[in-house]
Amino acid sequence: MPDLLALRLRQIRLEADGVASYELVAADGRVLPPFTAGAHVDLHLPEQRVRSYSLVNDPAERHRYVIAVQLDRDGRGGSRWLHGVPRVGDVLQASSPINDFALDASDAPAVLVAGGIGITPIVSMLHRLVKLGRPWRLHYAARSREQAAFLDAVERLAGDAPSRVSLHLGAGDPRLDLRAVIAQAPPDAHLYCCGPARMIDEFVALAAGRAPTQVHVERFAAASEAATGGGFEVVLKKSGQRFLVEPGKTILDTLLDHEVEVQYSCSSGVCGTCRTPVLEGTPDHRDDYLSDDEKRANDSIMVCCSGSRSKTLVLDL
């Protein structure tokens, strides 16, 4: 596993109902590794939980990372822990920044869509777009103004052109019309979306007529349910070990149960950390990280969420 950063928690701030931001600085006082707009860090939490959180702050900053976490009482525990346990001064472990949702480097206009906590990587992008003087337009949907995190920051970034930001606040406001947003975007615009699964699915479907290189999304979880049907065998080529994946378990669950070291992060098929080469067999791909061509090649698998269509799957582990 790559070396982790020791980050001291310098500030916790309430950003919206149920959303707190966490300002993290290097525990040794040094400058932090650089990051680019749209990047995230993987926080390593107790009980071997690893959670990915987008960096919200200006990518030009090297003295701090800022993440935001929405409390999910029905989640897997990461947000509950962060909202209830850490205190200012505590030291947390995190990866260096990783970017799977990068801002295009061209001068093309940017049309950005954010739903709820999906605003977090978008704010970092806005900092960069403003600094570069590039044209942009943001469509931000939230249930209410009280639940719209970083709204003040977004409005400040819009500066003397407040029409750059279209806010859609639940009942009583015009619903965010993704069809119109995409239809009205300039032909050369790059389109970005981060938010709930339903929003992203609709966005992807409506943007299907655009060049794939101009459409960018970041999901919090894969669009498909994880493969937990089990009933197949995983063979580890390097060690010769063989394990039956039982119903209710993922491949990752099975590997961890048998103390096999494997890198993983999101546990939902969106980050790519657990990508593992496949030597034999046919994966049942359930991730949103591999491209369609990569899935058809069947030479790698995200073990956190994907399964097997064949009785045996031989992995390069």
Give the three-class secondary structure for 112.
Answer: strand
State residue 215's pLDDT score.
97
Residues 6+ apart with CB under 8 A from 122: 112, 114, 138, 140, 192, 194
Average pLDDT of the residues in 66-77 = 84
Q: Residue 181 and residue 202: Cα distance in Å, rounded? A: 12
**Domain with 19 in it:** 5-94
Clarify whether residues 214 and 139 are in a common domain: yes
317 vs 211: CA distance, rounded Å: 36
Q: Is residue 279 part of a domain?
A: yes
Domain boundary pick from 163, 191, 218: 218
Q: Which amino acid is at 103?
A: L
Overall average pLDDT of the 275-288 stretch? 93
Q: What is the structure's pLDDT at 270?
A: 79
- 195 and 249 assigned to the same domain: no
Measured CA to CA, the distance from residue 261 to residue 248 in angstroms comes to: 21
Residues 191, 237 within the same domain: no
Query: 69, 94, 119: which is the final residue of a domain?
Result: 94
Residue 61: inside a domain, yes or no? Answer: yes
Instruction: Report whether 298 contacts 283 (CB < 8 A).
Output: yes
pLDDT, one tens digit per residue, over 203-251 is: 999 999 999 999 999 987 666 788 899 999 999 999 999 999 999 999 9
Q: Are 232 and 308 in contact (CB under 8 A)?
A: yes
Residue 222's pLDDT is what?
Answer: 65
In CATH, what number is assigned to the domain containing residue 71?
Answer: 2.40.30.10
Strand partners, 35: none
SS3 151: helix
The answer as to whether 104 is a domain residue is no
Last residue of a domain, one of 61, 94, 127: 94
| Interstrand relation of 242-245 and 232-236 (parallel, antiparallel or unpaired) | antiparallel
Query: C-alpha 75: how far from its chain's center?
Result: 15
Residues 210 and 302 both lie in one domain: no
Instruction: Give the residue-averaged pLDDT of 298-306.
Output: 94
Q: Are 136 and 208 found together in one domain?
A: yes
Angle at 313 between CA 312 and CA 317, to 5 degrees: 135
Shared domain check, 70 and 37: yes
| Domain-embedded: residue 195 | yes
Kindly state the average pLDDT of the residues 104-120.
96
- Residue 117 per-residue DSSP state: G
CATH number at residue 296: 3.10.20.30
Q: Are 308 and 282 in contact (CB under 8 A)?
A: yes
Average pLDDT, the chain: 92
pLDDT at 190: 98
Query: Are 219 and 270 a contacting pair, CB within 8 Å?
Result: yes
Work out the average pLDDT over 156-163. Answer: 94
Tokens representing 248? 């209710």
What local confidence, expressed as pLDDT, does residue 267 receive? Answer: 75
Average of per-residue pLDDT across 71-80? 79
24, 64 Cβ separation under 8 angstroms: yes
Residue 309: its pLDDT value, please?
Answer: 95
Query: pLDDT per residue over 131-155, tens digit each?
Result: 999 999 999 999 999 999 999 999 9
Closest CA to 48 of 230, 261, 194: 261
What is the predicted pLDDT for the residue at 78?
84
Q: Is the pLDDT of residue 258 over 80?
A: yes
Mean pLDDT to the nearest integer, 173-197: 93
Question: How many domains in the chain?
Answer: 3
pLDDT of residue 150: 97
Tell whether 84 and 147 lie within a shared domain.
no
- Six-digit token pair at 206? 């409506």
Residues 114 and 180 in one domain: yes
Q: In this structure, are strands 165-169 and 49-54 parallel, antiparallel, or unpaired?
A: unpaired
Segment (H or E) for 70: strand 65-70
Q: What is the pLDDT of residues 1-25, one digit of tens each?
A: 568 999 999 999 999 999 999 999 9
* Structure tokens that stand for 56 in this block: 């919200």
CA-based nearest residue to 313, from 232, 225, 258, 230:
232
Whether residue 296 lies inside any domain: the answer is yes
What is the sign, positive or negative, of the torsion defined by CA atoms of 267, 270, 276, 279?
positive
Joined together, the tokens standing for residue 317 give 């582990």
Q: How far apart are CA 252 and CA 304, in angstroms?
A: 5
DSSP 98: B
